[in-house]
Amino acid sequence: MAWDRTCVMDERMAFIVEYRSGDYCFAELCRRYGVSRGIGYKWRDRYEAEGPAGLVDRSRAPHEPGNALPEELVAAVLALRGRYPHWGPKKLRARLERDRPGERVPAQSTIGLLLARHGLSRKRRRRRGVPPVASPLWACAAANDVWGIDFKGWFLTGDGRRCDPLSVSDLATRYVIRLQALERAGGEHVWPVLDAAFREFGAPLVMRSDNGAPFASRAVGGLSQLAVRLIKVGVLPERIEPGKPQQNGRHERMHGTLKDETCDPPAASRRAQQRRFDVFVRYFNEERPHEALDQATPADCYDPPSRPYSGRLREPEYPDDHQVRRVRSNGEIKWQSKLVFLSEVLIGEPVGLEEAEDGTWTVRYGPIEIGSIDAQGKFHRPVAAARCRHRAQPQPPG
């Protein structure tokens, strides 16, 4: 025997027709159709109120979510996003917690949904993660251990003049030390900025940079005039591997925020651009919570130790077992009755020579190994791997 085919709406209409005929009591009618009396009453009431449309299935979702955000809190989130248009749910929630102590604030996911509902967010393409780098860079565990320094990349301001933004930040706390709009990217422009930063915050142990000028050069040890000055202050210049900006990723990440919020589009002049930078530094250090700092601000975490800077540049000192030679005006030193060329970058500077077991002499400028001199008096530069392995502890200025 074939099964009888019917539909839900037909069954419900038949139920209503037989109910209105009065031939059956309500309880018997419900038993015939296999529904409870509560369901039967629901169909009857909906039909009497809306007609046949009342018998259609309805969504069981609540008309208003039980955990809906109060309008005042929604307005607060949207106002905060309007004030900080580049902040995501994490930073917005951290700021709400700071501004509303003791109050319950929305979850990060709730804020994300709220931003999406109002068209204030967009999905980003997830990038493949970069594998960790094995090079032995200095660990930045505390304030003033390692500073990052870099030029963001020059651009033209509205008046057609060149602007080279120089940035210096403390890598442990993400605190922006300096953000200066310079006319050129030469070392003569960089040093006054660093000198002022050292006087205000003290000198770090290490200054990390890329391999570009003026931080490095093709001279021995990669030394530049700026690197020589840093060593004479007691700061170890440290360079990342070529083509691997992720090794200075904390500083580069700050550059991404800087570009979004101050340089697109550029200001009308370099002076106006500097005013933008000054506002950004206060905002980045004192207002913007940082995920890596457990949503604290850099200013909350930056408490540098006392390492005063007098402004004096001191020549590096060497142990008693080193032979010391001063580089002549042509970049040479006198060694065992021979003239050996090192570098013009080191003119007037003392270098230390330490005898190795194989009879060669290792040449250093301060903590940096710059090469070796063999038994025949020929100078050899070190291989990159050996230069990378050397990480001597820099000494603070005396």
The alpha helices in 287-360, defined as continuous H runs, are: 298-301
CA distance 384 to 369: 11
pLDDT (mean) for 256-265: 84
CA distance 374 to 353: 12
CA torsion sign for 296, 300, 302, 303 is negative
Lookup result for tokens 């290490």: 206
pLDDT at 132 (0 to 100): 38
Using alpha carbons, select from 114, 185, 121, 175 the residue that is nearest to residue 143: 175
How far, in whole angstroms, is CA 35 from its chain's centroid? Answer: 62
Q: Please return the burial class of 259, using the count of CB atoms within 10 Å of its CB with bins 0-12, 13-18 and 19+.
A: middle
Mean pLDDT of the chain: 86
Q: Please return the burial class of 84, using the count of CB atoms within 10 Å of its CB with bins 0-12, 13-18 and 19+.
A: middle
CA distance 395 to 166: 26
pLDDT (mean) for 118-127: 74
- Whether the bond between 305 and the residue before it is cis, its omega within 30 degrees of 0, is no
Domain boundaries, given as residue ranges, for the chain: 8-55, 71-117, 146-301, 323-389
With residues binned 3-state (H G I as helix, E B as strand, rest as coil), the percentages for the chain, rounded to 5, are 40, 15, 45
pLDDT digits (tens, 9 = 90+) for 195-251: 999 999 999 999 999 888 899 898 998 999 999 999 999 999 998 888 788 888 888
DSSP 346-378: GTT-EEEEEE-TTS-EEEEETTEEEEEE-TTS-
pLDDT digits (tens, 9 = 90+) for 88-99: 888 899 988 888
pLDDT higher than threshold 90 for residue 166: yes
pLDDT higher than threshold 60 for residue 394: no
Q: How many CB atoms lie within 10 A of CB 361?
A: 21
Partners of residue 219 on adjacent β-strands: none
* Phi, then psi, of 362 in degrees rounded to 5: -80, 130
CA distance 293 to 290: 5
Confidence of residue 65 (pLDDT cuts 50, 70, 90): low
pLDDT at 389 (0 to 100): 39
What dihedral angle (degrees, nearest 10) is formed by the CA atoms of 384, 390, 396, 398?
Answer: -90
CA distance 344 to 366: 16
pLDDT at 390 (0 to 100): 43
pLDDT digits (tens, 9 = 90+) for 249-259: 888 888 888 88
Partners of residue 326 on adjacent β-strands: 350
pLDDT higher than threshold 70 for residue 5: no
Percent of the chain at pLDDT > 70 equals 90
pLDDT at 3 (0 to 100): 42
Paired tokens of 34: 């296999």
Residue 183, C-beta contacts closer than 8 angstroms, at least 6 positions apart:
161, 162, 163, 164, 189, 270
pLDDT higher than threshold 60 for residue 4: no
Q: By three-state DSSP, how is residue 83 classified?
A: helix
**Architecture of the domain whose range is 146-301:** 2-Layer Sandwich (3.30)
Partners of residue 343 on adjacent β-strands: none
Contact status, residue 74 vs residue 96, Cβ threshold 8 Å: no
pLDDT at 152 (0 to 100): 87
Q: By three-state DSSP, how is residue 146 classified?
A: strand
pLDDT at 143 (0 to 100): 93
71-117 fold? Arc Repressor Mutant, subunit A (1.10.10)
pLDDT at 167 (0 to 100): 94
Residue 121, C-beta contacts closer than 8 angstroms, at least 6 positions apart:
88, 112, 115
